[in-house]
Chain A
Amino acid sequence: MLNRLKLRLRALFHKTEMEQELDEELRFHLEKEIEQNLARGMNPEEARSAALRSFGGMERVKEASRDVRGVRLVEELWQDLRYGGRMLLKHKGFTLVAVLSLALGIGANTALFSVCNAVLFKPLPYAEPDRIVVLSERMSDGKLSEVAPANFVDWRNVSRSFSGMAAVRASSFASSFILGGQSEASRLVGGDVSSSFFSALGVRFMLGRNFLPDEDLPGHDRVAILSYAAWSERFGADRDIVSKTITLNDKAYTVVGVLPADFQFGTTAADFEARSQADIWVPLALDPQKLQRGAHMLHVIARLKPGVKLAQAQAELDVMAANLAQQYPENNKDRGIAAVPLTDQVTGSVRVALETLLGAVGLLLLIACANVANLLLSRAAARQKEMAVRIALGASRGRLAQQLLTESLFLAGLGGIAGFVLALAAIAALTPQLPADLSRAAGIAVDLRMLIFTAVISLVTGILFGLGPLFATWRENAGESLKQNNRSATGIQTPLRSGLAVAQIAIAIILLIGAGLMVKSFWALMHVAPGFRSENILTARLSLPRSRYPDNRRIAALEREVLESLRGRPGVQSAGFATYVPLSGSDNDWSFLIEGRPPLPVGTFNVAKYRPVSAGYFETIGIPLLRGRSFTSADTAEAPWVVVINDSMAREYWPSENPIGRRLQIPGWPAWRSVIGVVGDVLHEGPDSAAKAEMYLPVEQALMNIESNPTIVVRAEIAPGAAAGELRGAVSAIDPAIAVDRIETMQQLLSGSVAQPRFRTMILVAFSLLALVMASIGIYGVMNYLVIQRTREFGIRLSLGATPTDVLRLVLGRAAVLIGAGTLFGLLGSVLLVRLITKLLFGTAPLDPLTFAAAPVLLAAVALAASYIPARRATKVDPMIVLRSE
Chain B
Amino acid sequence: MKNKQTDLLQGTLDLLVLKTLQSGPTHGWDIAQRIEQVSRGILSVGQGSLYPALHRLEAQGWIAAEWGASDNNRRAKFYKLTAAGRKQLAAETETWERFTGAVKLILKTT
User: Which residues in A have some Cβ–Cβ distance to B below 8 Å?
Assistant: 1, 3-4, 7-8, 21-22, 24-26, 28-29, 31-33, 54-57, 60-61, 64-65, 67-70
Contacts and interface: CB of A to CB of B under 8 A. Distances in A.
B59 A70 contact: yes
Contacts of A55: 47-48
B58 A7 contact: yes
Interface stretch (B5-13, B72-80, B94-102): B72-80
Contacts of B55: 65, 68-69
B46 interface: yes
Contact of A65 (B32, B52, B60, B61): B52
Interface in B40-98: 46-49, 51-52, 54-56, 58-61, 64, 67, 70, 74-77, 82
A7 B57 CA distance: 12
A265 B27 CA distance: 73
- Point out which of B51, B61, B64, B76 has the most chain A C-beta atoms below 10 A from its C-beta: B51
25 contacts: A4-B60, A4-B61, A7-B59, A21-B67, A22-B51, A24-B75, A25-B51, A28-B70, A28-B74, A29-B27, A29-B29, A29-B47, A29-B51, A31-B74, A54-B46, A54-B47, A55-B47, A56-B46, A57-B48, A64-B49, A65-B51, A65-B55, A68-B56, A68-B59, A70-B59
A-B pairs with lowest CB-CB distance, top 4? A64-B52, A68-B56, A32-B29, A65-B55
Contacts of B58: 7
Contacts of A21: 67, 77
A7 B63 CA distance: 12
- Point out which of B29, B32, B64, B82 has the most chain A C-beta atoms below 10 A from its C-beta: B29
A29 to B, nearest CB: 5
A67 B49 CA distance: 12
Interface residues of B, number: 25
- Point out which of A8, A25, A26 has the most chain B C-beta atoms below 10 A from its C-beta: A25
Interface of chain B, main secondary structure: helix
Contacts of B51: 22, 25-26, 29, 61, 64-65
Given A29-B28, A69-B55, 20 more contacts: A4-B61, A8-B59, A21-B67, A22-B51, A24-B75, A25-B27, A25-B51, A28-B27, A28-B29, A28-B74, A29-B29, A54-B46, A55-B47, A57-B48, A64-B49, A65-B51, A68-B55, A68-B56, A68-B59, A70-B59
Interface of B: 27-29, 32, 46-49, 51-52, 54-56, 58-61, 64, 67, 70, 74-77, 82
A56 B77 contact: no
B61 A1 contact: yes
Contacts of B29: 28-29, 32-33
A56 B52 contact: no
Contacts of A33: 29
Contacts of A54: 46-47
B61 A3 contact: yes
B60 to A, nearest CB: 7
Nearest to B47: A55
A60 B48 contact: yes
B52 A25 contact: no
A28 B75 contact: yes
A619 to B, nearest CB: 92
Contacts of A67: 52
A3 B64 contact: yes
Nearest to B72: A35
Contacts of A32: 29
A7 B66 CA distance: 13
Nearest to B70: A28
A66 to B, nearest CB: 8
A529 B48 CA distance: 92
A56 B47 contact: yes
A61 B48 contact: yes
Contacts of B47: 26, 29, 54-56, 61
- Point out which of A33, A60, A61, A68 has the most chain B C-beta atoms below 10 A from its C-beta: A68
A69 B59 CA distance: 6
Contact of B52 (A3, A57, A68): A68
A57 to B, nearest CB: 7
A26 B76 CA distance: 9
A207 B64 CA distance: 60
Given A33-B29, A68-B55, A56 B61 contact: no
B56 to A, nearest CB: 4
B57 to A, nearest CB: 9
A67 B53 CA distance: 11
Contact of B48 (A1, A7, A56): A56
A61 B51 CA distance: 7
A4 B59 contact: yes
- Point out which of B27, B55, B59, B74 has the most chain A C-beta atoms below 10 A from its C-beta: B55
A831 to B, nearest CB: 62
Contacts of B67: 21
Nearest to A8: B59
A55 B58 CA distance: 21
Contacts of B52: 61, 64-65, 67-68
A1 B74 CA distance: 31
B93 to A, nearest CB: 22
Contacts of A3: 61, 64, 82
A162 to B, nearest CB: 59
A601 B32 CA distance: 109
A62 to B, nearest CB: 8
A25 B61 contact: no
A57 B52 CA distance: 13
Contacts of A1: 61
A28 B74 CA distance: 8
Given A28-B29, A28-B75, A28-B77, A64 B48 contact: yes
Given A7-B58, A61-B51, A65-B55, A28 B76 contact: yes
- Point out which of A8, A32, A70 has the most chain B C-beta atoms below 10 A from its C-beta: A32
Contacts of B60: 4
B28 to A, nearest CB: 6
B37 to A, nearest CB: 12
A3 B64 CA distance: 9
Contacts of A70: 59
Contacts of B82: 3
A60 B50 CA distance: 12
Nearest to A6: B61
A617 to B, nearest CB: 88
Contacts of B56: 68
A18 B100 CA distance: 38
A22 B64 CA distance: 15
B15 to A, nearest CB: 17
Nearest to B77: A25
Contacts of A65: 51-52, 54-55
A26 B47 CA distance: 9
A67 B59 CA distance: 11
Nearest to A29: B29
A21 B67 CA distance: 9
A61 B46 CA distance: 10
A31 B76 CA distance: 11
B78 to A, nearest CB: 10
Nearest to A3: B61
Nearest to A32: B29
A22 B77 CA distance: 9
A24 B52 CA distance: 15
A2 to B, nearest CB: 9
Contacts of A4: 59-61
A760 B42 CA distance: 85
A79 to B, nearest CB: 21
A1 B76 CA distance: 25
